[in-house]
Structure 1
Amino acid sequence: MEFTSLSGVVLAGGKSERMGHQDKGLLLFKNEPMALQVSQAFKSVTDYVFINANRNIEQYSALGFDVFSDVEGYSEKGPLSGLFASLNYVSASHLVVSPCDTPCISGAAFLELQMMSKEFPDKIHYLKSTSGSHPLHAILPVASSLLALKMFLDQTGRNSVMAFYEAFGCQEVLWSKDSELLNVNTPNYLK
Structure 2
Amino acid sequence: MTPSRPLGVILAGGRATRMGGGDKGLRLVGGRPLLAHVVDRLSPQCAALALNANGDPARFADWGLPVLPDGMADYPGPLAGVLAGLDWAAEQGAEAIVTAAADTPFFPVDLVARLQEAAGPSGLALAASVDPESGKIWRQPTFGLWPTALRDDLRAALQDGLRKIVLWTDRHGAGQAVFTAPQDPFFNVNTPADLSAAEAILEGGGA
TM-score category by the smaller chain? 0.7 to 0.9
**Structure 1 counterpart of 2:109, one-letter code:** G
Correspondence for 2:21: 21
**Structure 1 counterpart of 2:172, one-letter code:** F
Per-residue Cα deviation, 1:25-76 (whole angstroms, up to 9, x for no partner) = 11112221112211221123211011011135212121221212111x3552
Deviation at 1:15, TM superposition (A): 0.6
Distance in 1 (alpha carbons) for counterparts of 2:41 and 2:49: 10
Correspondence for 1:162: 166
Moved over 4 A (4+): none
Q: In 1, are the aligned partners of 2:13 and 2:53 still within 8 Å (CA)?
A: yes
Distance in 1 (alpha carbons) for counterparts of 2:129 and 2:185: 10
What is the aligned-residue RMSD (CA, Å)? 1.8
SS at 1:190's partner residue?
helix
Correspondence for 2:12: 12
SS at 2:140's partner residue?
strand
**Structure 1 counterpart of 2:159, one-letter code:** D
Q: TM-score by structure 1 length?
A: 0.88
Per-residue Cα deviation, 1:91-143 (whole angstroms, up to 9, x for no partner) = 311100011010111322232113334xx563311111124110111111112
Is there any run of 5+ residues in structure 1 with no aligned partner, and where? none
Percentage identity across paired residues of the two chains:
27
Correspondence for 1:83: 82
Correspondence for 2:145: 139
Is there any run of 5+ residues in structure 2 with no aligned partner, and where? 132-137, 197-207
Distance in 2 (alpha carbons) for counterparts of 1:179 and 1:28: 20
Deviation at 1:169, TM superposition (A): 2.0
Correspondence for 1:60: 60
Correspondence for 1:103: 105
Deviation at 1:163, TM superposition (A): 0.5
Deviation at 1:4, TM superposition (A): 4.7
Q: TM-score by structure 2 length?
A: 0.82
Q: Considering only CA atoms, is the larger Rg found in Structure 1 or Structure 2?
A: 2
**Structure 1 counterpart of 2:102, one-letter code:** C
Correspondence for 2:118: 116
Correspondence for 2:177: 173
Q: In 2, are the aligned partners of 1:75 and 1:81 still within 8 Å (CA)?
A: no
Deviation at 1:5, TM superposition (A): 4.8
Correspondence for 2:158: 153
